[in-house]
Structure 1
Amino acid sequence: MKKIIVALVVLFILYLIGINTVPQYIESERNPVKTPAPYTVSAEAQALYNRLDFISDLHCDALLWGRSLNERGDRGHVDFPRMREANVSLEMFTIVSKSPAGQNMKSNSEDAFDNITPLTIAKGESPWNWFSLINRTLSQGEALAQYVEKEQGNAIFIKTKADLERLLAERKTNPKVIGAMLGIEGGHALEGNLENLEKVYEAGIRMIGPTHFFDNEFGGSAHGENGAGLSEFGKEAVRKMNEMGIFIDLAHSSPAIVEDVLNLTSKPAMVSHTGVRAVLDSQRNLSDEQIQRIAANGGIIGIAFFDMAVGEPELPNIIASIKHVRDLVGIEYIALGSDYDGSVAVPFDITGLPLIVEGLMQAGFTEDEIRAVMGENVKNFFLKNLN
């Protein structure tokens, strides 16, 4: 018995060590920054950046890693202090609940080993989260609420139009106030149960992507195996999301789902993080026809920052992607959709956003166009469409 007790104590100590080391190591490996901060731009670009009233990003997976957003991190891409350093007004934090082993852009099985399960255990999360996608999802949502609460009024959890209006009003006198929204990357988090839409809505989630890297109850992924459109469950979920005021995020959806959603939805759709096929011909990117249909729907398109969405070198290709959408449908449909902290290597963390302003200036974008891309379009979209 004594040996068993000693063995259990040793295992417990090793588990505690793992909680404090393994997730940090994994995050550092999965979310590198190709060029570390600090970043410098021309005086003209920095001056224009400093004049921006509202800067926003539509996609960040920082909640996945268990790192406190209240503290300035030495790894990863986004936290509240770095948002303030970059004068970012609003970030969409997205929840990843499942990720297939061997994840790739072309073909993934929904039955593949799930990478998030061991990470969930290693982070020391409740056993209730270990094998439940909805519990993992709600737990990450609660974590964001707690991070916001710890800011003691200097952060606002944006769930309604009134919340956004409060953010805009408070930032006029206190630019330290930041906003955080919450989305889900992959409808598998609902576990095939429409009643879970009510739970995630109550948790503050206002955006859901039907699929992520594999097919699920909604239908086919752009990186899955069946290429299917919306299932009957998916169609009913879209209708209910419209009624509730949850935005549909078409990033990672199969072309058939993109078409089905745009045919079915009564509300504007989003693409939180993507590239365009005219710049990088990838199955995860949008075709010109899709871009035109999303614009006709009144939607908004977030341009991602990483090589598998825009190609290399990233910065000029980010600018080229923005330019392509502008020239095709107009400036008002474009946003930033970094995919920060999403198991991707990025050219710069959130404090490097002035580099995008400099790139847009060099490409001949006007100040009004730059304002639109950097956040005004997101502000206007949510003011118009949030309940």
Structure 2
Amino acid sequence: MKLACRSVAAAALLLVASPALSQSILPDVQKRIDRILKKTPLIDGHNDVPEQVRENWKMSVEGLASGSDKRQPNPMMTDMERLHQGHVGGQFWSVYIDAAVHGDEAIRQTLEQIDIVTRLVKAYPNDLELASTADDFERIHRKGKIASVMGVEGGHQIGGSMAALRQYYRLGARYMTLTHFATNDWADSATDDPKYGGLSPFGVEVVKEMNRIGMLVDLAHVSPDTMKDAIEASKAPVIFSHSNARALSDHPRNVPDDVLAMLPSNGGVVMVNFYTGYLSEPFRQWNATRAAEEARQKTLLTGQPDKREAAMKAWDAAHPAPTADVGLIADHIEHIVKVAGHDHVGLGGDLDGIPYDQSPAGMNSVSGYPLIFAELIRRGWNDKDLAKLAGGNILRVLRQAEAVSASMKDVPPSLATLPAATPAPKSE
């Protein structure tokens, strides 16, 4: 793991603590960050608060005003107070459902997730406002609020229906991730066995329909072949709403260099994820070794859960997980810039969708974004490129998608359907 140098000059002794963070930022650096993020909204590509609301709080959006409003059983990474502390100006809220849910049930559950986001925005009118366009993001940010849109996290959520896709857009979804952890009916996932070698013909039609209505094509979670097929099929820039550079951590969720090299001609953006498991190759290796040990203990101590638990506690004590710092996030950002350029990188923390204790120090909260900018300033980044990272790039992508949609206004809505399933052969 590449760690950032920690040597500082004597002037660095004059520090101001960032709110709710264990790290500090120099006063002049903080002023520079404040100036940049006042002019350009910091737009995060992926936050899983709706999933937490659904799974842990019986659909209630109450109690998210500040960190003092405690939520159980898990600590929250997001609340209104810390969003403002982190200078967040725009948020794509994920309307995720499990990849095992399909058909009409998937559509119903997705509508329930969309309802959570609309109720969340309504519950905090001084903090959040629904957006529809790139101009809305900038207008709402000027009012001191967080522009809010939705991202559908998996193509299984349309239930094979183009009509459902169109209605999600009408209700406020501005991207759809083509797959989640499992290969679906028309696209291969990065974390499942391939079925189509990328996109099926219906999958290509989905991408074209997304272009027509102005919905961003999100390639987080998809296989490299799906990435390439989607980039080839899309007239609009694609996004990776919460992904990292595979050259630095060989997790299948990350983006290979040959795909990064396609982004300048497509115009797309990779929005960097804060999960240590995607950032750190040592952590990825440790995680795999731990899973193997857990499987071994399960075999050795079948029917003895207390002994298995004790064995794993002992293993964890002897093999502490590798840690990461904000410099590792900066490393992924800079690698994407090295291959694709400053116009093709953004931020997509995946907060409240990753383990609370498995992100770099200070980055398990929406208040932590200034730490990334401070680290990049330390590395010599200029204000123009920092503004692109913050939100300038994703705003450009949104505007280009809007322009593509406008150019397709005379194209009729797609009536494509999934091919009928082949019936299983009858047994003799």
Counterpart amino acid of 1:222?
Answer: A
Aligned partner of 2:359 in structure 1 is 346
SS in 1 for 2:242: strand
Per-residue deviation, residues 23-50 of structure 1 (Å, max 9, x unmatched): xxxxxxxxxxxxx745422223312221
Give the direction of change, closer, same or farther, for the CA distance of 1:93–1:167 in structure 2 (3 Å limit): same
Give the direction of change, closer, same or farther, for the CA distance of 1:301–1:321 in structure 2 (3 Å limit): same
Aligned partner of 1:126 in structure 2 is none
Aligned partner of 2:87 in structure 1 is 87
CA distance in 1, matches of 2:134, 2:246: 33
Counterpart amino acid of 2:209?
Answer: K
CA distance in 2, matches of 1:160, 1:371: 19
Query: Residue 227 of structure 1 contacts residue 254 of structure 1 at CA under 8 Å; is this kept in 2?
Result: no
Alignment of 1:157-196 (within 5 A): 157-168=130-141, 171=142, 174-175=143-144, 177-196=145-164
Normalised by the length of structure 2, the TM-score is 0.70
Counterpart amino acid of 1:339?
Answer: D
1:381 aligns with 2:397: yes
SS in 1 for 2:250: coil
Alignment of 1:1-387 (within 5 A): 37=21, 39-52=23-36, 53=39, 54-66=41-53, 68=61, 70-73=64-67, 74=70, 75-99=75-99, 132-152=105-125, 154-168=127-141, 171=142, 174-175=143-144, 177-226=145-194, 228=196, 229-311=198-280, 312-344=323-355, 345-347=358-360, 348=363, 349-386=365-402
- Runs of 4+ off more than 6 Å: none
CA distance in 1, matches of 2:207, 2:390: 29
Query: Residue 302 of structure 1 contacts residue 334 of structure 1 at CA under 8 Å; is this kept in 2?
Result: yes
Counterpart amino acid of 1:380?
Answer: R
Once the two structures are TM-superposed, the CA of residue 295 in structure 1 deviates from its matched residue by 2.6
SS in 1 for 2:392: helix
Q: How many residues align?
A: 321
CA distance in 1, matches of 2:336, 2:268: 12
Once the two structures are TM-superposed, the CA of residue 227 in structure 1 deviates from its matched residue by 5.4
SS in 2 for 1:59: strand
Once the two structures are TM-superposed, the CA of residue 230 in structure 1 deviates from its matched residue by 0.9
SS in 1 for 2:125: coil
CA distance in 1, matches of 2:79, 2:399: 24
Give the direction of change, closer, same or farther, for the CA distance of 1:153–1:79 in structure 2 (3 Å limit): closer
CA distance in 1, matches of 2:116, 2:329: 31
Counterpart amino acid of 1:65?
Answer: Q
Give the direction of change, closer, same or farther, for the CA distance of 1:203–1:255 in structure 2 (3 Å limit): same
CA distance in 1, matches of 2:330, 2:394: 18
Aligned partner of 2:296 in structure 1 is none
SS in 2 for 1:351: coil
CA distance in 1, matches of 2:186, 2:123: 36
Query: Residue 89 of structure 2 contacts residue 147 of structure 2 at CA under 8 Å; is this kept in 1?
Result: yes
Once the two structures are TM-superposed, the CA of residue 64 in structure 1 deviates from its matched residue by 0.7
Once the two structures are TM-superposed, the CA of residue 219 in structure 1 deviates from its matched residue by 1.6
CA distance in 1, matches of 2:21, 2:109: 32
CA distance in 1, matches of 2:246, 2:133: 34
CA distance in 2, matches of 1:310, 1:214: 21
Give the direction of change, closer, same or farther, for the CA distance of 1:165–1:236 in structure 2 (3 Å limit): same
CA distance in 2, matches of 1:274, 1:288: 13
CA distance in 2, matches of 1:61, 1:362: 30
CA distance in 2, matches of 1:38, 1:320: 21
CA distance in 1, matches of 2:88, 2:160: 35
Once the two structures are TM-superposed, the CA of residue 92 in structure 1 deviates from its matched residue by 0.8
Give the direction of change, closer, same or farther, for the CA distance of 1:238–1:381 in structure 2 (3 Å limit): closer
CA distance in 2, matches of 1:159, 1:179: 9
CA distance in 2, matches of 1:78, 1:382: 24
SS in 1 for 2:241: strand
> Which shifted more, 209-218 or 198-207?
198-207
CA distance in 2, matches of 1:162, 1:56: 13
Structure 1 gaps of 5+ residues are 1-35, 100-109, 118-128
SS in 2 for 1:206: strand
Query: Residue 142 of structure 1 contacts residue 203 of structure 1 at CA under 8 Å; is this kept in 2?
Result: no
Query: Residue 90 of structure 2 contacts residue 137 of structure 2 at CA under 8 Å; is this kept in 1?
Result: no
Structure 2 gaps of 5+ residues are 1-19, 281-322, 404-428
Counterpart amino acid of 1:233?
Answer: F
SS in 2 for 1:274: coil
Aligned partner of 2:9 in structure 1 is none
Per-residue deviation, residues 43-70 of structure 1 (Å, max 9, x unmatched): 2331222112221211111111116275
